[in-house]
Structure 1
Amino acid sequence: MYTVIGRANSRATRVLWLLEELGQGYEHVPAAPRSEGVVSFNPAGKVPVLIEDGTPITDSTAIIQYLADKHGGFTYAAGTLDRARQDSMTQFLLDEFDSALWMAARHSFVLPEELRQTAIKESLKWEFTRSQKTLVRRMGEGPFLMGQDLTVPDIILTHCGIWARIAKFPISEPRLATYLESMLQRPALRKVLEQMP
């Protein structure tokens, strides 16, 4: 049994969704970032945190890759060329999509008000739109990013797509929009999204 700490409207979505896809049991503690229940496991105060056998694991990407590796699903095996391609896609998504959305969030509500630079959001939207063009050229022939199988990058990209809609970042590429609509129909993800406020 795993424990997942973090509200469902955070990057904890990624962890909860993968656990649902894997059919693994878990306890969900919907704690807010920087709350006492989070800081005691992650001094940075960030969510999600996965607890297994009393050991905390932080960072959503590290958590979902660990779970995929451990349970032998939604990932290619370490040390293979397919895994190298998968990891490359994961890093691309974190660099180009997740980072832009996180920076926008920081300047919207995370940073102290006197440090926020609201004008930065326009340049972040421009970068986000440009990155979509690169992504579409990298997408595989199958229904998922890497081809016929759903993998860790699909979970990251779909969560970024959900986040983008909330943040009003445009999804400008039709193929990406179609992909996201399809992913949002997955029963495991829908179950997690029902937990959002």
Structure 2
Amino acid sequence: MLTLYIANKNYSSWSLRPWLLLTELGIPFEEKLVPFGDSDFKHFSPTAKVPCLLDNGEPVWDSLAILEYLAESHAGVWPENKQARAYARCAAAEMHSGFGTIRSVCTMNCGIRVKLHAVTDALEREWARMDELWQQGLTRFGGPFLGGKNFSAVDAFFAPVAFRAQSYGPKLSTASEAYVATLLALPGMQSWYQAALAEPWRDEAHEQEVRDAGEIVSDLRLDQ
């Protein structure tokens, strides 16, 4: 039995990736949520970070490694088409290692809507590259997902960005806005979002990141 350790659904973008893939592909797993600041993640994760997947007690850590591990034994993790699969792996790797300004300025906080204090050139460039990357996949492989008609690992990698787009409202093309809407409408994304809104925990470090970046114009979380 697979066990996936994650942190707060409101904040943990890295946790969302494998959780959503497992959920959307119908792969059975047990969820273990450990809130930030609640305990030392080291007791289940070699890096003391989330996510961490346990397969019969054997740890697999890092979101990209987890998705590749799942691909070894489950169909549909990556697109079947060779060209789409190559694009998907490249796009997921670029997301995994890049977009540092989006990550640091537009942090994931599902339950809020934010007006940024400023939109820097660096932030604009990264959102423009995100838009370009999405349009490339959607155009080449026909959508509605990046690798074609079926949800796959590359979409799981960009799922946290969909929540960021919802919270911060960056300028995107019509095609990319439709892609964000497609991701947000997934049953797994809706389930994650509702759970995030209902969480009672507030992690001050994550909350301060938002205050540093902009003005919170709406807070939809249930326990404010």
Could you state the TM-score of these two structures normalised by the residue count of structure 2?
0.68
| 1:86-101 correspondence runs (5 A) | 86-97=88-99, 99-101=100-102
Q: Calculate percent identity across the aligned residue pairs.
A: 23
Which residue of structure 2 aligns with residue 32 of structure 1?
35
* Native 8 Å contact 1:49 1:56 kept in 2: yes
Which residue of structure 1 aligns with residue 160 of structure 2?
159
Aligned residues: 184
Which residue of structure 2 aligns with residue 176 of structure 1?
176
1:54-99: per-residue Cα shift (whole Å, max 9, x none)?
A: 1111111221232233211231469x554322211212333444x3
Pair 1:103-2:101 in alignment: no
- Quote the Cα distance in structure 1 between the aligned partners of 2:146 and 2:157: 11
Decide which structure has greater strand share.
Answer: 2
Which residue of structure 2 aligns with residue 16 of structure 1?
19
Of the candidates 62, 67, 73, which is equivalent to residue 65 of structure 2? 62
Q: 1:56 is matched by which residue type in structure 2?
A: P
Q: 1:134 is matched by which residue type in structure 2?
A: E
Closer/same/farther in 2, CA of residues 13 and 171 from structure 1, 3 Å limit:
farther
Displacement of 1:48 in angstroms is 0.9
- Tell which deviates more after alignment, 3-12 or 176-185: 3-12
- Quote the Cα distance in structure 2 between the aligned partners of 1:49 and 1:120: 35
Could you state the TM-score of these two structures normalised by the residue count of structure 1?
0.77
Which residue of structure 1 aligns with residue 123 of structure 2?
125
* Native 8 Å contact 2:102 2:127 kept in 1: no
- Quote the Cα distance in structure 1 between the aligned partners of 2:72 and 2:37: 29
Q: Secondary structure at the match of 2:164?
A: helix
- Quote the Cα distance in structure 1 between the aligned partners of 2:131 and 2:182: 19
| Structure 1 spans left out of the alignment, 5+ residues | 109-118
Closer/same/farther in 2, CA of residues 105 and 5 from structure 1, 3 Å limit:
farther
1:98-148: per-residue Cα shift (whole Å, max 9, x none)?
A: x33333378x9xxxxxxxxxx997344223222134224412322111122
- Quote the Cα distance in structure 2 between the aligned partners of 1:18 and 1:65: 11
Decide which structure has greater helix share.
Answer: 1
Closer/same/farther in 2, CA of residues 188 and 165 from structure 1, 3 Å limit:
closer
Closer/same/farther in 2, CA of residues 189 and 28 from structure 1, 3 Å limit:
same
- Quote the Cα distance in structure 2 between the aligned partners of 1:121 and 1:59: 30
| Structure 2 spans left out of the alignment, 5+ residues | 109-116, 200-224
Which residue of structure 1 aligns with residue 137 of structure 2?
139
* Native 8 Å contact 1:133 1:173 kept in 2: yes
Q: Greater relative contact order (Cα 8 A, min sep 6): structure 1 or 2? A: 2
Closer/same/farther in 2, CA of residues 171 and 93 from structure 1, 3 Å limit:
farther
Q: Secondary structure at the match of 1:57?
A: strand
- Quote the Cα distance in structure 2 between the aligned partners of 1:82 and 1:136: 13
